[in-house]
Amino acid sequence: MAQAFGFAVIVVLYIVIGLMAAVGAIFIVPKILGLKAEQIFYAMFLIMIAAFYVAFVSYFIAEAAWRLEVAVVIAFAAVALAGVRLPLILIIGYSLYGVCAWFTNFRRMESTRCSSPSSLLLCLSHTGSFAQPSTSA
């Protein structure tokens, strides 16, 4: 019971913090940056989000995933750079990122490893094909 409550609190925190960040980005960033600078900001932010996956690959020592994850980062960087010129491409890039993250989480949740609240939280916090720690020393 306590574990389920803890999981619910963490989920609520993720949602509230996400909403607060979104509201801040929507209302504060436009006041600080001009329209073109805001577009460049969001393009660079998309590249940084994608680059986190390479950090996860390194952290989990998943050599087999390096090529795939670097290719994904390069693809998102290309989309972000194109999005600097055409805002619609940037919107598609963020949407594509969301679909990719959802798909990898959904695939992971289907496994037995994500059947309890604590293991589900671990699965949600480490998306991608590289999230399983390496068994090699």
Q: Are residues 28 and 48 in the same domain?
A: no
Global pTM reads 0.62
pLDDT at 127: 45
Shared-domain flag, residues 45 and 106? yes
If asked whether residues 62 and 45 sit together in one domain, one would say: yes
**Residue 50 shares a structural domain with residue 24:** no
The span from the CA of 23 to the CA of 71, in Å, is: 31
Residues 58 and 96 in one domain: yes
Predicted confidence at residue 115, as pLDDT, reads 56
CA distance 111 to 90: 32
Predicted local confidence at residue 117, as pLDDT: 56
28, 53: one domain: no
Q: Can you tell me the distance from the alpha carbon of 112 to that of 43, in angstroms, rounded to the nearest whole number?
A: 37
Co-location of 79 and 122 in the same domain: yes
Distance CA 130, CA 69 (A): 9
Range of the domain at 120: 34-137
Which amino acid would we find at residue 122?
A: L
Query: Along the 137 residues of the chain, how does pLDDT read in single tens digits?
Result: 667 777 777 778 878 887 888 888 788 888 888 888 888 988 998 888 888 777 777 777 777 878 888 888 899 999 999 999 999 999 999 888 888 777 766 665 555 455 555 555 555 555 444 444 444 44
Instruction: Verify that 11 and 75 share a domain, yes or no.
Output: no
List the alpha helices (DSSP H) in 28-86. 29-32, 35-59, 66-85
Total domain count, the chain: 2
CB 46 within 8 A of CB 90: yes
